[in-house]
Amino acid sequence: MKKLILLFIAALCTFQAVSQNAKYDLRFSIYSLDCINGKLLLDLEVRATDPSAHFNIADVNIRFTYGSALANPVIEQELVLSGTVQTTTPQTLSLYAQHHLQGTINNVVSYNVVLSGGHGYPIDDLSYIPIGRLSFDIIDYNLPLDFTFLSQLNGNFPVTTVIEKFNSSLRQAQEGTYLDHLDYNVCGYGGMKLRPKLFLEGPFDSSKREMKIGANSAGVIPIAQPYTALGMHIGFETTTAAVITNHNIVDWVLVQVRSPSNPSIILGSAAALVDNEGNVTDADGLSPVTFDLYQGPAYVSVIHRNHLSIMTKNSIDIQHLTIEPIDFTTIPLYGNNAAKKDNDDQVMWAGDSDTNGTINAADRSNAWNDRNLQQYLRTDFTLDGVINAADRSIGWNNRNLTAQTP
């Protein structure tokens, strides 16, 4: 192995430093985090630094260190730079050899891609492309992830190297920005604690700036959360009738923590209770909503079974074991018109009886079909325990609205 590395380094040294524009940025992107089975899938991504730095990418050797929370890196999947790829300028095909971990040892990954034919894949500054996906075992749930690229700029050796194919020759591209994710989200029992606040339009009383507890008074709120049965969550959170009564519970909601690099990826979810003042708590009615994640930047979203889901506009830096308040009644939200503006408050839109993210005629039809029922049903948009004209009215008023959560 040592010989191979030396050969590789010797090969790199043959590239002359010439005036050029090829310059690249690298980042890590968490593809998925499975805290139950202890698996992390991590994508390595590259882009050109700016419009003047676009180039055709040939060989890549990405080197980075990882923390002792993780072990056993293996290549899970080759992504864009895999096998035969289309090269646009000129129009032709390029071939990449099978990706290897070459020199991966002692918490250093050396991810190796070699162009074996063609002009290489053109990268630009508009979007990162994923090169390949690594799998890690999570072996210590109480430590943060700790990824650091090894770069020339930091004086590391051997370093990350990206090679440009220019005409028919190869030359080394310049380093741009390396986005290291330190202390990133990782499984850690109860490590992430949130205290969200939110208002639901259906029961919201704007004159009091709180929510009515009609469904609670009617005794229809179940002690088991409804989201697992709806296929939105894996979990078995239950409360008690006493908690529902004593804490003026309005309903169950689902709180989600999402990847900062791709907010469509849900890193953790928890069913939680919301009380009449909008406080979202664990099933005991008091504790913060807790996730088996360590800490890190993350988007936070809230799902309700018949209101449109909302998410923070930006990722939030959540610290380990520090209760993070997230006031959805005022915080900037992701997307456009994500919530109703009611004087100074943001209020989640009501009327999505099938939780499909859109309020339309099907929802109003469902509310009509359930008229006069007195049950815990998603057609009860006002959350007062009965389905009637008031529910149909709210569904009509909010017609054509869609959830902004990715």
| Nearest of 187, 178, 191, 182 to residue 146 by alpha carbon | 182
Binding mask 304-343 for Ca ion (x = CB under 5 A): ----------------------------------------
Between 309 and 312, name the residue whose CB sits nearer to Ca ion. 309
Name every residue whose Cβ is closer than 8 Å to that of residue 353 and which is 6 or more positions away in sequence. Answer: 306, 362, 363, 366, 367, 378, 379, 381, 395
Beta bridge partners of 333: 312
Only segment of 127-135, 255-263, 348-356, 367-375 that touches Ca ion (CB under 5 A): 348-356
Query: Minimum Å distance from CB 255 to Ca ion?
Result: 21
Which of positions 350-389 make contact with Ca ion (CB under 5 A)? 352, 354, 356, 358, 363, 380, 382, 384
Distance CA 231, CA 210 (A): 29
Name every residue whose Cβ is closer than 8 Å to that of residue 44 and which is 6 or more positions away in sequence. Answer: 26, 28, 29, 62, 111, 130, 131, 132, 133, 134
Asked if residue 125 binds Ca ion (CB under 5 A), the reply is no
Residue choice 25, 146, 370, 391 for contact with Ca ion (CB under 5 A): 391
Between 346 and 382, name the residue whose CB sits nearer to Ca ion. 382
| 111 secondary structure, DSSP code | E
| Nearest of 308, 272, 268, 269 to residue 287 by alpha carbon | 272
Between 163 and 403, name the residue whose CB sits nearer to Ca ion. 403
Which residue number places its CB atom closest to Ca ion?
A: 382
Query: Minimum Å distance from CB 151 to Ca ion?
Result: 49
Query: Minimum Å distance from CB 353 to Ca ion?
Result: 6
CB contact at 8 A, 223 and 241: yes
Between 312 and 405, name the residue whose CB sits nearer to Ca ion. 405
Distance CA 239, CA 242 (A): 8
Distance CA 216, CA 231 (A): 24
Q: How many residues bind Ca ion (CB under 5 A)?
A: 9
Between 89 and 400, name the residue whose CB sits nearer to Ca ion. 400
Only segment of 5-13, 177-185, 307-315, 349-357 that touches Ca ion (CB under 5 A): 349-357
Query: Minimum Å distance from CB 331 to Ca ion?
Result: 25
Between 229 and 389, name the residue whose CB sits nearer to Ca ion. 389
Query: Minimum Å distance from CB 246 to Ca ion?
Result: 23
Q: Encoding tokens for residue 189?
A: 């029992």
Q: Encoding tokens for residue 354?
A: 């099938």
Strands 70-78 and 340-342: unpaired
Only segment of 104-112, 131-139, 158-166, 347-355 that touches Ca ion (CB under 5 A): 347-355
Binding site for Ca ion (CB under 5 A): 352, 354, 356, 358, 363, 380, 382, 384, 391
